[in-house]
Structure 1
Amino acid sequence: MKGTQILLDHMGEREAAALMIDGRLSDLLIEGDAPRPGTIYRAITDRPVAGQGGIFLKTPDGQAYLRGVKGIDAGEHLQVQVTGYAEEGKAIPVSHKLLFKSRYAIITPDAPGINLSRSIRDDDVRDGLLALAHDGMDGCAMGLILRSAAAGADEDAVAEDIAAMRELAEQVTGDTDTGAETLTLGDGPHVLAWRDWIADADVVTEVGCFETHGVLDALDEARGPRVPLGANASMFVETTRALVAVDVNTGADGSFSAGLKANMACARALPAALRVRGLGGQITIDLAPMPKKERKTFEATLRSAFRADDVDTVLAGWTPLGHFELQRKRARLPLSDVLA
């Protein structure tokens, strides 16, 4: 099926959202049991980690870990925000730099000033949005970023979004109570889909739409490691305790260019394969054989593919054995965990 669809449904009792592009599953959000990214706590500092510049904190959902802090003693109260999902047995990752993010507006309490997404280039549009931003933030010392989705949105909707995020930010940052407490929850899958999937799409909300629109079939395929790349090529995406291993194969194609074609297909398909499977951390790609002179072409294609991805991913580079390594934020729960 051609076109883009956003499907909002449930899997059992778990809220879920799926993004289908031309009949293929491009992204998936499923409610898990772990604290949602974006959740803000009033936490209590516990004990520093010597030599690592971090400190453990007590939260209502268990132990959290905050990196890059100095001069904080045990027993202090600190507002922190969940930044991702923890590996099994590890503390919740948090940041002390809070963000209040919606479809059009991001309030930045620690970074004053008004900014627009760099993708908004039309001068008339920028001038109109800046006027809205200055009106909405009048008398407020916090910062505001207007996202790319604001460029084509109704002015009243943008103004309402700015006002809602400002009100929430002022309420949370103005908190003066004590004790560990959840101040605001992160967004669930349906709100995240509205917030972050901004391309024109048909939105389907009927109960059971995952089954009728092919999402469940796509999930059955995603539970396995094999990802077809066309022309008999494929890649296998498999997890170990240490890393995610990606193995690229050319299949029956024995031509001189088979390796390059398979590797380029891998570069284009990898972001969606990782999103749907909810995989992050260290990722190592074992590529099909190709001339060394083609490495820059592969890397440019991979960089372009991840530029369109909304999960922070660092392209670390080549290893002496010719593998390519990445470091990816754990912004999703592993599919194997939520569908266990």
Structure 2
Amino acid sequence: MTQQILINITPQETRVAIVERGAVQEIHVERSLTRGLVGNIYLGRVIRVLPGMQSAFIDIGLEKAAFLHVADIWENRQSDLRPASDTHKVNKSPGLPIEKQLFEGQAILVQVLKDPIGTKGARLTTQISIAGRMLVYLPQEQHIGVSQKIDNDEERLHLKNRMQALLPPESRGGFIVRTMAEGASEQDLQADIAYLHKRWAEISQASRQQPAPNLLYTDLNLAQRVLRDLVTDHTANIQIDSRENFAVLQEFARIYTPSVVEKLELYRGERPLFDLHNVEQEIERALSRKVGLKSGGYLIIDQTEAMTTIDVNTGGYVGARNFEETIFKTNLEAAQMIARQLRLRNLGGIIILDFIDMAQSEHRETVLSELRRALAADRTKVTVHGFSPLGLVEMTRKRTRESLAHILCEPCPTCAGNGEVKTPQTVCYEILREVLREARQFNPREFRIIAAPNVVEMFLEEESSHLAALSDFIGKPIALQAESFPSQEQYDIVLL
């Protein structure tokens, strides 16, 4: 199955589309102004130690000092990254109070755990980790661990033994084997080990040569992560539409992922790269609540705080010989589309699928098998359960980053994310009640209602008799004035 990767780069944004079988399967977006600090490694300087809080403030070169708690200090750390006269060596004994481990002015190697939020600075740790494609390198450790997501005991032992055989006896540092390593060749694992060792050597050298505070390592940008994590043997080419960034990625690939260099291509076409491959249209569809199926059926996708629900409908599909067959065919097509939409939209967490009810158990099993088959191509961990007594399929998909809608959209200022607004008639009745309330408290010469045009129009037509009756009841004239409010729910009542 041939794969094509398209990379659209502008100064403010990088977008990546993965195309398989002529259709967009994944979309990734990263904006320069919202790139986080998590994973960045700094040579910081201790500016204050707080024994009462068992914490310290570390200057890492940001506007706000970062925060390091004693629980985030690696208890076995022995710093060999700075001359002994400049860097304090942390005592190996566990449980030492922070004032016996750190002192003001000390240079210390730290990594960001959490981004700054509001008035709080970044949260730090002294336990360094560097992520590769299939491995995570722990330069201060000496053991080999396996990701808990790999729950097969035989596979865990097999991966651990493979890693131990690949590492030379003089190798320093430990590794965690990621789920991507399942089925990886020895060449792939060795390439990842070499990449991580090279990265750590650069960080170590920089820490010896540069003053504190200083940024030593930043996690790769989206385009670089694509070369590291998303390129496979099935990737035919990687097209990049920026000449400057093409050269940068060529150099990065030459040093860290040599096998990718020959797949890089500079796109020179006149049409925008994403327009040529209909990616812009796919992005618009991926932001829509309704997704059409080729058969005439459709999906309704609703993303909430707690979960995502996907409802399958037959729509206008009447192509099968009987109704049960129509339902079965629609559900089969929906299973394939659901798997694709989950990747496109990057939906994670709890996901509830409401397929059209099927009377035959073999149809349900076939649809469930098709769903699992379609989800097998997902690089994110997915767990699918069978049909519940209510006929729903429950599944989970690991959250790896914000969903596409959360990156590109925000709640509607009109409906505040509800997806619905009050009808003009409802607003009219609210206004009538408010006028009556005001008339009981005040004695103006006249009331003036300022509302959205469609609300005013309803007062002049369907609700004219009710407005006239209220005017007679309170004994005051009521005037109307149309204004273009952002929402038809907004209005104002002026006392004259």
Query: Under TM normalisation by the shorter chain, which class is it?
Result: 0.5 to 0.7
Q: 1:103 to 1:74 in 2, by over 3 A?
A: same
Q: Helix, strand or coil for the counterpart of 2:19?
A: strand
Quickly say closer, same or farther: Cα 1:234–1:152, change in 2 above 3 A.
farther
Query: What secondary structure, in the 3-state scheme, does the structure 1 residue paired with 2:399 have?
Result: coil
Matched, 1:165 2:196: yes
1:194 aligns to 2:191 (yes or no):
no
C-alpha separation in 1, matches of 2:16 and 2:142:
32
Q: Could you tell me which of 280, 292, 295 is aligned with 1:216? A: 280
1:338 and 2:407 matched: yes
Runs of at least 5 residues in structure 2 that lack an aligned partner in the other structure: 45-57, 73-93, 103-108, 116-121, 151-158, 243-271, 410-496
**Which of 389, 395, 417 is the equivalent residue of 1:326?**
395
Deviation, structure 1 residue 297 = 2.8
Return the letter of the residue paired with 1:10. Answer: I
Q: Aligned partner of 1:201: which letter?
A: A
Between 222-231 and 279-288, report the one with greater CA deviation. Answer: 222-231
Kindly, what percent of the aligned residue pairs are identical? 21
8 Å CA contact 2:9, 2:240 repeated in 1:
no
SS at structure 1 position matched to 2:331: helix
Shift of 1:6: 0.5
| Bigger Rg, which one | 2
RCO greater where, 1 or 2, for CA within 8 Å and sep 6 or more? 1
Kindly report the root-mean-square deviation, in angstroms, between the aligned alpha carbons of the 2 structures: 5.3
Q: Give CA-to-partner distance per residue, 1:139-168, whole Å, 9 cap, x none.
A: 325136484796396x8xx75542230344
Match of 1:259 in 2: 327
Q: Which residue is 1:26 aligned to?
A: 25
Task: State how far apart, in whole Å, the 1-side matches of 2:395 and 2:43 are.
Answer: 33
One-letter amino acid of the structure 1 residue matched with residue 218 of structure 2: L
TM-score normalised according to structure 1 size: 0.67
Change (3 A) 1:41 1:292: farther
Q: Contact (CA 8 Å) 1:40, 1:82: kept in 2 or not?
A: no
Q: 1:97 to 1:216 in 2, by over 3 A?
A: farther
Cα pair 2:385 2:394 within 8 Å, conserved: yes
1:78-121: CA deviations, max 9, x gaps?
Answer: 977769x9xxxxxx999999763334654366683499x9xxxx
**Cα distance between partner residues in 2 of 1:283 and 1:74:** 45
Post-superposition Cα deviations, 1:174-211, rounded to whole Å, max 9, x if no partner, equal: x9xxx999874333221222123212222111244222
1:101 and 2:131 equivalent? yes
Alignment coverage as a number of residue pairs: 313
Change (3 A) 1:105 1:21: same
Map 1:1-340 to 2 at 5 A: 3-10=2-9, 13-32=12-31, 33=34, 35=36, 100-103=130-133, 105-107=135-137, 112-113=143-144, 133-135=166-168, 138-143=170-175, 145=177, 147=181, 151=185, 159=190, 161-168=192-199, 184-197=217-230, 198=232, 199-207=234-242, 208-254=272-318, 255-291=323-359, 293=361, 294-340=363-409
The one-letter code of the counterpart of 1:322 is: G
Tell me which amino acid in the other structure corresponds to 1:270. I
State whether residues 282 and 326 of structure 1, in contact with CA within 8 Å, keep that contact through their aligned partners in structure 2: yes
1:338 alignment partner, SS class: helix
Cα offset, 1:307, TM superposition: 2.9
| Equivalent residue number for residue 493 of structure 2 | none
Which residue is equivalent to 1:52? none
| Residue pair 1:103, 1:149 contacting (<8 A) in 2 also | no
Q: 2: distance between equivalents of 1:81 and 1:327? A: 28
Higher-helix-fraction structure: 2
Runs of 5+ in structure 1 lacking a partner? 44-57, 86-91, 118-125
**Gap change, CA 1:239 and 1:180, over 3 Å in 2:** farther
| Maintained 8 Å contact 2:327/2:358 | yes
User: Letter of the aligned partner of 2:131 in structure 1?
Assistant: K
